[in-house]
A = this chain, B = another copy of it.
Amino acid sequence: MGLDKINWKLLTLLSQNGRLTYAELAKLVHLSAPAVAERVRKLEELGVITGYGVQVNLEKAGIPITALIGCQVYRTKEREFKALIMEVDEVIECYNVTGPYAFMLKVGVKSMSKLDALLERLIDLSDTNTMMIMSQPVDRTMPLNIAQQD
Chain A contacts to B: CB under 8 angstroms = 1-3, 11, 14-19, 46-58, 60-63, 67-68, 82, 85-86, 89-99, 101, 104, 107-111, 114, 129-146, 148-150
Q: How many angstroms between the C-alpha atoms of A13 and B49 in the bound complex? A: 18
A143-B95 CB under 8 A given contacts A46-B60, A52-B19: no
Q: How many angstroms between the C-alpha atoms of A83 and B58 in the bound complex? A: 24
B89 adjacent to A143 (CB under 8 Å):
yes
What is the count of identical protomers in the complex? 2
**Considering the complex of A and B, which 8 residue pairs feature the smallest CB-CB distances, nearest first?**
A97-B131, A94-B138, A18-B52, A89-B144, A51-B55, A14-B54, A18-B53, A98-B132
Residues of B within 8 A of A3 (CB): 61-62
B97 adjacent to A134 (CB under 8 Å):
yes
A68-B95 CB under 8 A given contacts A86-B138, A143-B90: yes
Question: Which single residue of chain B is at the shortest CB-CB distance from A82?
Answer: B137
